[in-house]
Structure formats: structure tokens, C-alpha cells
Chains A and B, each alone.
Chain A
Amino acid sequence: MKRGLINLLGGIGMMAIAVVLFAFVAPQDQKVGAAWKIPAEYKTMKNPQKATPDLLNVGKMAYAKSCKSCHGGAGLGDGAKASSMKTKINSFKDAKFQAQTDGEIYFQSFIGRDDMPNFEKKIPELEDRWAIVNYIRTLK
């Protein structure tokens, strides 16, 4: 009985220590991302793919697999993993975001930086990447 009590208190003690330690590693507050430095070639890059219904469907499927967990189903930046990021995720509905060129959105989406990883290997086909850019355009 005494041993069981000691084990129980030991377990509770370990959990308390873990909670305190996690408090130091878990993000306390998300920072606002600095302005993107996008190379000129991407700013003027033309989107070679038209937003046909078929390609928008491809973009929707690929968005669900690769982007939704952080950016959310509607692109509001409220996906399941969004709160664990160090940087606040902005909404795709934001007029400032949608005012960018397709090439700028391409650079941010697939070249990436910091919390936003590079997706070139995960989405190797150019057509699929542009399909995602076209789908993101529909989320405004």
C-alpha cells in the first residue's frame, strides 16, 4: 500500500516536472512573419496553367493533402497544426495576400522559409504546384 502510494506520488511528480519543462519549449506567443524577400524572377513569373475545373480539383486535392493541416480548409490559417507554429499564419482571404502575383504566391508556397517548408520535393510536378496556386486564388 505504502509502495503504491509512493509510485503514485512519483508519477504525479514526474508529470508536474514535465509540464514545467514543456512550458519552456512550447511556443508562448506567435511572432508576425517579416516581409517576404521574393526574387524578381518569381515576382514576374507567369502562371502557365489555366484554372480549369479539372485543374482546380487537382489543386483542391493537393491542398487538402499538403496545406490544409496548417492553413486550414478555408485558408484562414487555422489548421490543426497552426497553433504549434512559431510564426502566425495569415489568411489567404486577406486582400494584401491576394493582391500578390501568382509567382509571389508560388515562391511562398513551394520555396518557403522558416516554418513554411520547401515543398518542391513533396510536390515534384510543376503543373500540380500551379494547380495549388490557382486553388488558393479561389479561397479569397
Chain B
Amino acid sequence: MKKNTLFITLLLLISTFAFAQEDSTGVKVKDKPVRSPFESGYLIDAQTTVIPNAHTLEFVIQHKFGSVENGHSDLWGIYAAGSNIRLGLNYVPVKNFQIGLGMTKKNMAVDANAKWTIFEQTRKNTRPIAVALFGNVAFDGRNETAFESGMVRIASDKLPVHFRFNDRVSYFSELIIGRKFNDWLSLQAGLSFTHYNAIGVVYDHDKVGVHFNGRLKVSPQGSIIFNYDNPLKIKKISEQLEWTNHPKPNVSFGYEISTSTHAFQIYVSATNSILPQDNMMWNQNDFFAGKYAIGFNITRLWGF
């Protein structure tokens, strides 16, 4: 299955390079990227194909309150336990390539990430879509005792083995394809691969997921936004006989307000995780059963 996933990823990449960049007379057309397909590199729990201008520093605050399921007794999750927060810094050293670091409350995680917008959609449609690659590696920073008393199991081993540093590591990689259809509608689809080096015996190390998200601009600064992440049930990469702990899709929607240097998003989301690999691996909340939390993202840009 890993081979298949790699093949699909490569096929998508190659096909995107095949779009014509010449007009019918064979003359090269100078075409500029479309303006702001999204207002930020973040869209609720997802990444967009957007990367700020080169030499821009971005500070990101991502926060989720507890679940709303207890209603007014804990003010729809605002006073509830189980809140989560991530503080991140991203920098764009060269055009369309971004590197970042972040710290997340859940699992005391530290993550390093990179995003490359391979190409942007252009105004005259010589490139009708934008394509980006996003990769993230996260380190679980909890004490060893959090990992089955310092012991972990590896699928190939019958007995638990001593905990190693590598067992803290998880990965998420995603191919994102987006299109700005007009001034008010932009949509994206993505294909992702998540891997945890160490995981409980009733879970899988790998997950392949599909993603769909977008924005509906309702004013020059305001947009309705949504995101859907679906971890796929692929038997070939599963280590389990039954789908007892398969993660549920992450459904979320909200509202975004943006300025030239800020994006503010307030939303409801099924998962209480923030890191994408956590979203794909651990979410057991069913949005349609009323299990979701209020959250917000704030991004701030500084140009150098």
C-alpha cells in the first residue's frame, strides 16, 4: 500500500507539471499568480497552498477549548478541561518555501515543519491549480512513564522493548491541490500520509487520509471557512483485524476575518488535537453526535 500511495503522489505531481504554459500560437504567456486564494497558510486545522512573501516571519496561535457537550455548565467548553494550544513560528527564507517550529500542549509536543508551494494558480489559467507539499515531524515530549510505563511494543516484536527516543517521533506529509474559482470561492483537496514510530497495540502505525476544505468570501475581509479530514480505512496498511479504534473524520467550520498582516479564525471542530498527525490518528469525536469544541487561530506577519 505504501508503494501505491507513493505512486499516486508522484502521479499527481507529474500531472501538475504537464499544464501548458504557452498559448495556442506557441508564444510564452507571462502570467501572474492569482491574488490571495486564501488569506493565510492556515485554514482551521488544515494547511493551505498559501505561503507569505519571502522574508516574512509568521507567529501563529492555535487554540481549542474543551468539548461543548456539557453545555452551559462549563460555558460550552470554555471552562472545561482538555483545552489545547499550539504556538508556532514560521519563516519564509525564499519565495514559496516556508519552515516552521511549534509547541503544542497536548503530549507536550514540539514540531518542525516545512511547506513548499510547488507552483501557484495563475490569473490567465495557464496553471489552473496551485500545488503544495507540507511535511511535519513532531516529538512527543512527555515523560517516559506516559508510554506504557517506559515500554513500547513494535509490531514485529512479541515482547515490549525499552522506550527509545525514536518512539517519540511522528510524521505527517500532505499533497495539497487548490483552486480559487472566483473572488468568493476557493477550494482545496489533499492526500496525506501519517506515521507514528510507536503506538499502542490496538492502533495502526500508518494512516492515509483525504482532505477537503475551502472558503466562501462574504465580504472583503470576512469568509465562511470549512475543513474535512477523513482517515481512510485501508486494510492493507492496518495492523488490526477489526476497525475498533479507527479515527473519526474531523469536521469543522468557522468564520475568518483578515487584514494585511493578520488572520483571525473562530470555528468549531470535532478533534481537540491541533497537530495534523494527531488529527488523523486519534480523533474519536463524532461531530454529528455533538462532540466538537470551539477554537480559534490567530496569525501575525512581519516582513523583513
Binding site for B on A (CB under 8 A): 57-58, 60-66, 68-69, 119, 121-125, 128
Contact = CB atoms under 8 A, between A and B. Distances in A.
A65 B221 contact: yes
Contact of A65 (B53, B183, B260, B303): B260
Nearest to B53: A124
A123 B303 contact: no
Contacts of A122: 260-261, 303
B183 A121 contact: no
Given A57-B183, A64-B220, A128-B35, A121 B259 contact: no
A65 to B, nearest CB: 5
A12 B53 CA distance: 46
B283 interface: no
13 contacts: A58-B35, A61-B220, A62-B260, A63-B220, A64-B221, A65-B220, A65-B259, A65-B260, A66-B260, A122-B260, A123-B260, A124-B53, A125-B32
Contacts of A60: 220
Interface secondary structure of A, over-half rule = helix
A118 to B, nearest CB: 10
Given A60-B220, A62-B260, A64-B219, 16 more contacts: A58-B35, A61-B35, A61-B220, A64-B220, A64-B221, A65-B221, A66-B259, A66-B260, A68-B221, A69-B259, A119-B260, A121-B53, A121-B303, A122-B260, A122-B303, A124-B53
Interface string B227-266: 0000000000000000000000000000000111100000
A58 B220 CA distance: 10
A23 to B, nearest CB: 28
Contacts of A68: 221
Nearest to A120: B303
Contacts of A65: 220-221, 258-260
Interface in B161-212: 183
Nearest to B217: A61
Contacts of B53: 121, 124
A95 B144 CA distance: 71
Interface in B16-56: 32, 35-36, 53
A55 to B, nearest CB: 11
A112 to B, nearest CB: 13
Contacts of B258: 65
B43 to A, nearest CB: 17
- Counting from the closest, the 9 A-B pairs by CB-CB distance are A64-B220, A121-B303, A66-B260, A65-B260, A61-B220, A122-B260, A64-B221, A65-B259, A124-B53
Contacts of B221: 64-65, 68
A119 to B, nearest CB: 8
Contacts of B220: 60-61, 63-65
A73 B258 CA distance: 15
Contacts of B261: 122
Contacts of B36: 61
A64 B219 CA distance: 9
A125 B35 CA distance: 10
A39 B257 CA distance: 37
Nearest to A61: B220
A72 to B, nearest CB: 14
Nearest to A67: B260
A121 B183 CA distance: 23
Nearest to B39: A65
A23 B192 CA distance: 54
A66 B220 CA distance: 11
A88 B131 CA distance: 45
Contacts of B303: 121-122
